[in-house]
């Protein structure tokens, strides 16, 4: 089955170039020239991946990402003429899966689309619920519950929790987390802010955590004990 990619950019020449390259590689392609058009197409179609320009007239690509993330975890690759670290951090923190500068070749952009779709496909083949006392994490549905109560996490918060929970007691350094989730862009503060927000949502007492602890000056580790009745399906 062909994957469908939605390209959102106000530059028609870029849209047409990427459309042709993606189609030549076997993708179905839909195109939009602003956030409004993109939201209509997203609601009407099954979209497997989005390439989103940041600087557009009206609501920009960041605003579009915010709308999409309220209802979907579809992969979003930001496309921008700017290589500023600030834009990269902001885009990835909003739930973007990649950040591509427009100087990249169309072939490289197609390769990035394929890479993110492979990651999503690999995650989709897993079916497992992790239990750590009152905390449960369903890898298939991306649902997180505390004592049976569903907790709403951003895509980034979910991925951070999943990584730590799947590797209990392993210390992940600030540098490792930055490289994995922010493409190496940012600093310790970036990681601390996201982990702080995550712990506020899953810890009864964030200052006395039961699940995620800070390893002073190094990074974080998950300390919950996994229940023995967990199973893959």
Residues 76-108 pLDDT 10s = 999 988 877 778 888 887 888 889 999 999 999
CA separation for the pair 217, 28 (Å, rounded) = 47
CA separation for the pair 141, 120 (Å, rounded) = 13
Q: Would you call 128 helix, strand, or coil by DSSP? A: strand
β-sheet with 4-8: strand ranges across: 28-32, 4-8, 49-53, 76-80, 98-101
pLDDT-derived band at 109, boundaries 50, 70, 90: very high
- Looking at residue 229, what is its pLDDT? 57
Q: Would you call 230 helix, strand, or coil by DSSP? A: coil
The single-letter DSSP state of residue 211 is S
Higher pLDDT, 6 or 185: 6
Using CA atoms, how far residue 86 sits from 68, 93, 164, 182, in Å, is 21, 10, 26, 11
- Looking at residue 120, what is its pLDDT? 75
Q: Which residues pair with 130 in a beta bridge?
A: 137
**Which tokens in the block code for residue 56?**
């557009």
- Looking at residue 125, what is its pLDDT? 47
- Looking at residue 79, what is its pLDDT? 92
Tens digit of each residue's pLDDT (9 = 90 or more) over 40-68: 999 898 899 999 999 998 999 999 998 89
Q: What are phi and psi of 212, to 5 degrees?
A: -120, 120
β-strand pairing of 49-53 with 28-32: unpaired
């Amino acid at each position: 089955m062909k994957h469908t990619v939605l390209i959102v950019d106000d530059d028609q020449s870029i849209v047409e170039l990427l459309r042709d390259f993606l189609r030549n590689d076997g993708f179905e392609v839909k195109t939009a020239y602003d956030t409004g058009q993109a939201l209509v197409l997203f609601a009407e179609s099954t979209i497997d991946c989005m390439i989103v320009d940041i600087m557009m007239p009206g609501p920009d690509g960041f605003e579009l990402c915010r709308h999409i993330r309220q209802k979907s975890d579809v992969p979003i690759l930001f496309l921008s003429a700017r290589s500023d670290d600030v834009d990269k951090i902001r885009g990835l923190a909003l739930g973007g899966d990649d950040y591509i500068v427009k100087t990249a070749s169309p072939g490289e952009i197609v390769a990035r689309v394929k890479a993110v779709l492979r990651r999503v496909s690999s995650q989709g083949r897993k079916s497992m619920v992790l239990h750590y006392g009152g905390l449960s994490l369903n890898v298939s549905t991306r649902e997180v519950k505390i004592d049976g109560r569903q907790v709403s996490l951003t895509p980034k918060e979910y991925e951070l929790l999943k990584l730590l929970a799947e590797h209990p007691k392993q210390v992940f350094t600030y540098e490792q987390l930055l490289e994995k989730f922010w493409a190496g862009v940012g600093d310790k503060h970036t990681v601390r802010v996201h982990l702080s927000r995550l712990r506020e949502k899953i810890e009864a007492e964030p200052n006395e955590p039961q699940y995620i602890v800070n390893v002073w000056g190094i990074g974080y580790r998950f300390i919950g004990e996994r229940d023995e009745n967990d199973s893959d399906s």
